[in-house]
Amino acid sequence: MIKSILLAIDSSAYSESVLQYGAYLAGKFSAVLRVFSVVDVRLFDWTLTSGGESFVPVIPSVEFQTESRHMQKDKTSRTLEKAGQMLAAAGIAHELLESSGIPADEICHQAMENDLLVMGVRGEYERWGKNLLGETVESAIRQTPKPILLVDKKFEAFGNIQIGYDGSVAANRALQLAGDFGSKMNLPLSVLCIYENEEQRKEKLNEAGRLLEPYRIKVQLRHESGEAGDVLVRTSQETPGRSLTVIGSFGHSRLREAILGSTTIHVLRRAGKPILMVN
């Protein structure tokens, strides 16, 4: 059950979309909305860390350290102020939270007090790695046990939900959360079972169907063949409108490889639509 949502924002172009999705979900779930931004200490502490160990030692001046801290603190404060103004103008209740430290660590710590974490799939340094996930995002995915919704730059209300299901514990949790999303938003749900063995496929699809019965939503049970990552990307891109792809990590089939291996990154880079990761 989603009762509190944490929006992790920075100064990137993704932050507006994060705020819009947060407001959208808060309305659907009647959830508390918390907006969080981190003063990244690495940006002014790196010289202290590497100074004595560098090939060419760097000894930052006191003025440099002070000014760097001030600039980062000011940027974070202005980011939160703008977010607050946007949400207030839309009449949406919210809290503004700020911390200092390594962003991924601070976000994961704060996420423990919330039911859902929303982040942009990339961050403010996207220009130097347009085909890569944000470092903070990838670290958060691996660290936090909380569900994470990863969004792109453009907000659009969800039109449908799809989930890859393999019968694992995490996939079972993901299926329940997908059912809850579908129920609260009145959206159809497609369950994809990526098994070549027909008996296994039928067993897992029937299992998924029984689990989703209490949610009283429209469910489509689909057998798909191929590499899990490619299938999830393809079906997401082929589905009209803004689809939400739900993935449960740490499975025990080829979907497990999709989550733990390079296929996960493949899906997150190429899907082009929001993805809900459930650990």
DSSP tag of 155: -
**Which tokens hold the place of 116?**
């859902």
169-185 and 198-212 are packed helices; what angle lies between their axes, rounded to 10 degrees?
50
What pLDDT, on the 0 to 100 scale, is given for residue 71?
84
Instruction: Yes or no: say if 215 and 180 are a contact pair by the CB < 8 Å rule.
Output: yes
Task: Report d(CA 201, CA 267) in Å as an integer.
Answer: 22
pLDDT in tens, 3-47: 999 999 998 889 999 999 999 999 999 999 999 999 988 766 655
pLDDT in tens, 185-243: 999 999 988 877 788 888 989 999 999 999 999 999 988 877 777 787 788 777 777 88
φ, ψ at 86 (rounded to 5°)? -65, -45
Q: Where are the domains of the chain?
A: 4-41+73-151, 160-278
Could you name the CATH architecture of 4-41+73-151? Answer: 3-Layer(aba) Sandwich (3.40)
pTM here? 0.85
φ, ψ at 90 (rounded to 5°)? -90, 0
Domains 4-41+73-151 and 160-278 share a fold: yes
Could you name the CATH architecture of 160-278? Answer: 3-Layer(aba) Sandwich (3.40)
